[in-house]
Structure 1
Amino acid sequence: MKILIAEDDLASRMILQRFLEDYGDVDVTVNGEEAVDVFMRALDENQPYDIICLDILMPEMNGMKVLEKIRNKEKSMGISSDKKVKLIVTTSLDAPRSFPDNEDTAVKGTENYLTKPIDLQKLSVILEKYGFSKE
């Protein structure tokens, strides 16, 4: 499995990276623009990510804008909904209704969200739900 972590908080990034390394290859980005660039490059090289852990409040570009760009790229490439990257929103915000913009835009396109500090047991359940297991 190929995983992308888009997280500007060092502690959260390290926790996610250590935990997810047992599930597959992990790449890390620290801002929204970098996350979009890495995601697009992976798609263009036909090596797409299976999962993205996406923070909402990031520098350069917030997570909702990242999500919009990711979904637009997938749509433009004709990627079917069952083949789209699975997104797990990681945030210090309380719930999707607290995300920037509005609830409909925030929730659309996300599979799950976890509030910080990240509960690794909940993350494990989400991964298992999608059929991902430790290597």
Structure 2
Amino acid sequence: MASEGGPRNGFESDVKVRTREYRIGCVGAGMIMAECHLAAYKEAGFPVVAIASRTKASAERVARRWEIPTVHDTPEQLIEDKSVEIIDLAFPPDQQPALIRHALKQQHIKAILAQKPLALSLDEAVKLRDE
């Protein structure tokens, strides 16, 4: 890996990364999270501090692979974890709205990255955006 802020593997990001301090909590342990998001976070040097999924066994398996220190029993517990500042939500669209709304109630959460589809309808997605 290159030095802080420099090119990695011969590539340089389009924009300068301003901080790598915010701690990420990942909800979901499927292919997109396990193969794409976590690999990108590792490459960028972003700290992933917790993971949860529909089954704890799946979350534990992905946590071992990517050296994530905390595995929560439920997504709600992860969202309530005060050590988590950013939520990466890669969960089915019928479950994302409730989890997003739960995250919006937490004062320690600074950002939510929700995967598409965001919800099962455009109306619901627009409501979430507005909230």
TM-score after normalising by structure 2: 0.54
Is the alpha carbon distance of 1:108 and 1:36 closer, same or farther for their aligned partners in structure 2, counting shifts above 3 Å?
farther
The residue aligned with 1:103 is 125
Give the % identical residues: 6
CA distance in 2, matches of 1:26, 1:53: 11
Aligned partner letter, 1:4: G
Give, in whole Å, the separation in 2 of the partners of 1:26 and 1:18: 14
Kept after mapping to 1: 8 A contact 2:103/2:109: no
Q: For the structure 1 residues 4 and 37, does the alpha-carbon distance in structure 2 shift closer, same or farther, using more than 3 Å as the test?
A: same
Question: Cα gap change, 1:5/1:100 in structure 2, threshold over 3 Å: closer, same or farther?
Answer: same
Task: Indicate the RMSD between aligned Cα atoms, in angstroms.
Answer: 2.7
- Cα shift at 1:65: 0.4
**When you count helix as a share of all residues, which structure comes out higher?**
1
Q: Secondary structure at the match of 2:74?
A: helix
The Cα of 1:39 is off from its aligned counterpart by 2.0
Within-5 A mapping of 1:1-135: 1-9=22-30, 11-14=31-34, 15-21=36-42, 22-31=45-54, 34-40=74-80, 42-43=81-82, 47=83, 49-57=84-92, 62-72=95-105, 74=106, 79=107, 84-91=109-116, 93=117, 99-100=119-120, 102-109=124-131
Contact 2:90 2:115 in 1 (8 A): yes
Instruction: Specify which structure has the higher proportion of strand.
Output: 1
For residues 47 and 109 of structure 2, what CA distance do their matches in structure 1 show? 18
Distance 2:92 2:41 in 1: 21
- Detail structure 1 runs of 4+ shifted over 4 Å in the superposition: none
> Which of the pair has more CA radius of gyration?
2
Using the size of structure 1 for normalisation, the TM-score is 0.52
Give the paired residue count.
Answer: 88
Deviation at 1:26, TM superposition (A): 3.6
Q: Give structure 2 stretches of 5+ with no counterpart.
A: 1-21, 56-72
- Cα offsets for 1:3-60 (capped at 9, x unmatched): 1111252x111121121132113422213981111221x22xxx2x2211112416xx
Cα distance, 1:69 vs structure 2: 1.5
The answer (yes or no) to whether the contact 2:25–2:51 under 8 Å persists in 1 is yes
